[in-house]
Every structure is written in C-alpha cells, then in structure tokens.
C-alpha cells in the first residue's frame, strides 16, 4: 500500500509538507495578529524569519501564503533570490503580478499607468537604473509607488497583499539591499487617507504584509544598513528546533486513526504506525523539520506493509545517516572559526559544567568576558545555544552530532 505516489513526507526545501509539525506561534501570528490588524487598517511590521538551514523557514511562510490565498488574499510566488542576482528585478516582476491580481492594468487613472510603466522599467533594468543615474525616480520609489496602488486596491477589495522574499542573505549588492528594504518598509508604513460615512477623513495603514526569510547573518547586514529603521519596520524571529511533543502530535494521525491512502481498488486504505516507531522518529530527528521529514520518508519506503514498525524506521534511517550528518556539517562549516570552536569546547564538557568560564577556558580565551560576544551571537543571532548560569544547546541536532555517535546507529 505504501509507494512513492502516496508518501506524505517531503524533506525537500521550499515544500509545504503534508505532515506538518509545530510552528503554531508563527502561524497564529499571521492568523490572529498580522492579517486582522492589516484588514482593520492598523499598522503592523513586516516579518523577518531567520534560522539555520533545515528549520523550515521557507515552508513556514509558504504555509502562511497558502492560508492567505485560501482567504482570498493576493500572494506573490515564493521569490527566491539567487546569489549574485538583482533583487529589484525579481521584486518588480512580482509586484507587477500583484497589480494584475488587483486589476490595476485596467485602471484609467494616469498615476496608476505611470506607476506600472516605471516598475516595468525596473523589471527590465533593476539596480542598473541607479548606476546609470537615469532621469526620473530611483527604482525603490517606483516599487513603493506601485505597492501603494496595490494596497489601495486591497483596501477596496477587503483583503491583504502578501510578499515573500526567500534566501535574502544572497543579496550581495549593498545598494540593492538598501533600496529594497526602503521600498518594502515605506509601503508597510504608508498611511492612506480614507473617507468615513458623513465626510470625515482618517488615515489607515495599507493591507500589505511582507515576509523575509533567510539565514541568521541577514539581520546583521540589514541592521547595519538601516539600523533602528529596519528594526521598527520588521519584526525578526529566529527559528529553533521544534518541540518533541509537536512532532509526536504530527505523527498521531498515523498511530490513530491511520493515514489515508488509495487502496488500489478504488477505495481508501490506512497506513498506521506503531507507537514505538513514532517515538523512534521523534528521537532521531532532534526537532529538525528537515530531519523529521527525512526520517518519515525513509521509514515509508522501508516496506510496503500497512503498518510502519520501529524496525522499519531504523532500517530507513540507516540509509539517511550520511544525509543527516551532511546537513549538520553544513551548519557547522559555515560558522566563523570562533563560533565553531566555542561550540566544540561547550560540547566537550559535561552538561553540569557548561558555564561560560569553563567553556571560555576550554576554547582558549584568556578570560570569560572575551567569549561573551561569541556566545551572544550563538544565542541571539543563530539560535544554536541558550545562555544562562549553565549553557545548553538549543539546536539539538548540532548537540547530538558533537556529543555522541548520532546520526549513526549502533
């Protein structure tokens, strides 16, 4: 009954998996805060969601975008920014698509036609418009102007326009990054006068939601360019591992009543999972969304039977060990030497001895305060550790890799 066509686990990047675990805080933030406030005309900051690879940043925002589209909102495609590309061209094309959804090309107003024409030029030339010092507004002001028009149309429609930029750490051109952040920030903070019944006029925010996703390093660069302005316009969340209870809850549909699949005879069958098998997946993935999907995928393929057993989970994981190890190694490899050395020193100590003074001494620092900035970045920027009287690992796959034989099975 289990085959590739029915496998609900999806370890690939940028995919919204059928088996969803956790992230209720971020999902409810969209449902209960961002969207209701924007619909009501209240100001709400954009969202920057950062984290190490494999934590499900892109999948999370694509799930939010799915819910937005289901509610009738206008949603851009996932705008992945390749390294070395011109982000202004990419965003300009996406805003033109939003304008199509808002039926702006059919509008007769001169200002709308002018805004469309300017952004069409940006979609062709991008940041080179600024470099060549062409006549007329710079690209960022053209993007802002059309976004404002999209926002005005959304007010009339009673919905939200959602923009998602992914892999934002790949924006290498500092001028492009600055223009992009200003354009999106200006649109998010724009206030539009609206008339109330009786002739009174008030100002309201535009229903435009902006989500930026990428690696933790992005906040440093964005903050360096816009400082407090960026912080005022975008609220940053650094994702960490998912709680084991949330992963267990996601697998409960397999335990009871069973995951529905076609039975090959025109009916519906159910794939069930032993409680011990579900517990094994929870233990193996260490709260990592990518590893959770990887473990589930390999367990599914381990047999064609109607019940997933613990033995099948372990058998499937043996084929995934190299990929799991490479996943964590990529995280460690991209860390600066000081941060990597701090983590290795921390991992070499028993949990009850992981005080800053001991870790600093093991890492070769002259005094504990010298290690303070490194530990702070690993906590607040990267979300890999938790600082306290005793330091602990928040990224449990990194901890397991550095302190045990994981992901290898005995």
Q: How far is CA 392 from the centre of its chain?
A: 24
pLDDT of residue 129: 61
pLDDT digits (tens, 9 = 90+) for 302-346: 999 999 999 999 999 999 999 999 999 999 999 999 999 999 999
Q: Is 62 within 8 Å of 70 (Cβ atoms)?
A: no
Please choose, from the candidates 40, 72, 75, 65, the residue with its C-alpha nearest in 3D space to the C-alpha of residue 155: 40
What phi and psi, each to the nearest 5 degrees, are found at residue 76?
-75, 160
What phi and psi, each to the nearest 5 degrees, are found at residue 44?
-150, 130
Query: Which residue shows structure tokens 């995934």?
Result: 320
Q: Spell out the domain ranges in the chain.
A: 24-238, 244-326, 330-403
CATH number of the domain at 24-238, please? 3.40.50.300
Question: Does 43 have pLDDT greater than 80?
Answer: yes
What is the helix (H) or strand (E) element at residue 213, kind and residue range? strand 208-214
Report if pTM > 0.75: yes
d(CA 45, CA 184): 10
Question: Does 211 have pLDDT greater than 70?
Answer: yes
For strand 392-393 and strand 385-386, is the pairing parallel, antiparallel, or unpaired?
antiparallel
pLDDT of residue 136: 53
pLDDT of residue 359: 97
Residue 285's alpha-carbon distances to 240, 297, 363, in angstroms, are 13, 12, 28
pLDDT of residue 13: 64
Structure tokens at 354: 């992981």
pLDDT digits (tens, 9 = 90+) for 131-187: 444 555 678 888 898 899 999 999 999 999 999 999 999 988 888 888 889 999 999
Residue 337's alpha-carbon distances to 344, 345, 363, 387, in angstroms, are 10, 12, 11, 19
Q: Does domain 330-403 have CATH number 1.10.3470?
A: no
d(CA 50, CA 35): 21
For strand 46-50 and strand 208-214, is the pairing parallel, antiparallel, or unpaired?
parallel
d(CA 68, CA 30): 9
Query: Which residue shows structure tokens 């418009």?
Result: 129
Question: Does 11 have pLDDT greater than 70?
Answer: yes
Helix ranges (DSSP H) in 163-243: 174-189, 217-226, 228-233
pLDDT of residue 51: 94
pLDDT of residue 227: 52
Q: Does domain 244-326 have CATH number 2.60.40?
A: no
pLDDT of residue 132: 47
pLDDT digits (tens, 9 = 90+) for 71-130: 999 999 889 999 888 888 888 898 889 889 988 887 777 788 887 888 888 788 776 665
- Give the mean model confidence (pLDDT) for residues 19-38: 96
């Amino acid at each position: 009954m289990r085959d590739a066509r029915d496998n609900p686990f999806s370890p690939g990047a940028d995919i919204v998996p059928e088996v969803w675990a956790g992230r209720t805080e971020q999902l409810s933030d969209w449902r209960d805060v961002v969207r209701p406030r924007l619909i009501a005309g209240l100001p709400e900051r954009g969202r920057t969601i950062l984290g190490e690879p494999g934590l499900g940043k892109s999948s999370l925002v694509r799930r939010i975008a799915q819910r937005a589209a289901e509610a009738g909102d206008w949603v851009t495609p996932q705008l992945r920014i390749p390294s070395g590309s011109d982000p202004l061209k990419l965003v300009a094309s996406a805003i033109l698509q939003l304008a199509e959804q808002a039926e702006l090309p059919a509008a007769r107003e001169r200002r709308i036609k002018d805004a469309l024409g300017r952004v069409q030029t940006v979609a062709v030339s991008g940041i080179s418009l600024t470099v060549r010092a062409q006549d007329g507004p710079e690209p960022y002001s053209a993007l802002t102007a059309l976004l404002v028009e999209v926002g005005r149309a959304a007010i009339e429609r009673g919905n939200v326009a959602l923009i998602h930029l992914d892999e934002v750490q790949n924006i290498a051109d500092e001028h492009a990054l600055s223009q992009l952040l200003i354009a999106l920030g200006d649109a998010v903070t724009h206030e539009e006068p609206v008339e109330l019944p009786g002739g009174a006029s008030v100002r309201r925010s535009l229903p435009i939601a902006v989500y930026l996703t990428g690696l933790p390093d992005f906040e440093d660069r964005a903050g360096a360019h816009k400082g407090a302005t960026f912080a005022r316009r975008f609220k940053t969340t650094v994702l960490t591992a998912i709680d084991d209870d949330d992963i267990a809850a996601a697998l409960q549909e397999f335990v009871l009543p069973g995951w529905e699949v076609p039975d090959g005879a025109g009916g519906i069958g159910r794939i069930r999972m032993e409680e011990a098998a579900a517990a094994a997946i929870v233990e193996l993935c260490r709260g990592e969304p990518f590893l959770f999907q990887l473990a589930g995928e390999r367990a599914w393929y381990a047999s064609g039977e109607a019940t997933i057993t613990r033995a099948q989970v372990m058998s499937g994981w043996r084929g995934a060990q190299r990929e799991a190890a490479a996943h964590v190694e990529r995280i460690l490899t991209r860390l600066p030497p000081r941060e990597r050395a701090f983590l290795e020193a921390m991992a070499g100590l028993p949990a009850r001895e992981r005080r800053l003074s001991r870790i600093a001494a093991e890492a070769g620092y002259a005094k504990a305060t010298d290690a303070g900035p490194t530990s702070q970045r690993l906590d607040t920027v990267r979300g890999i550790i938790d600082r306290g009287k005793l330091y602990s690992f928040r990224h449990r796959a990194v901890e397991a890799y550095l302190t045990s034989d994981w992901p290898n099975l005995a």
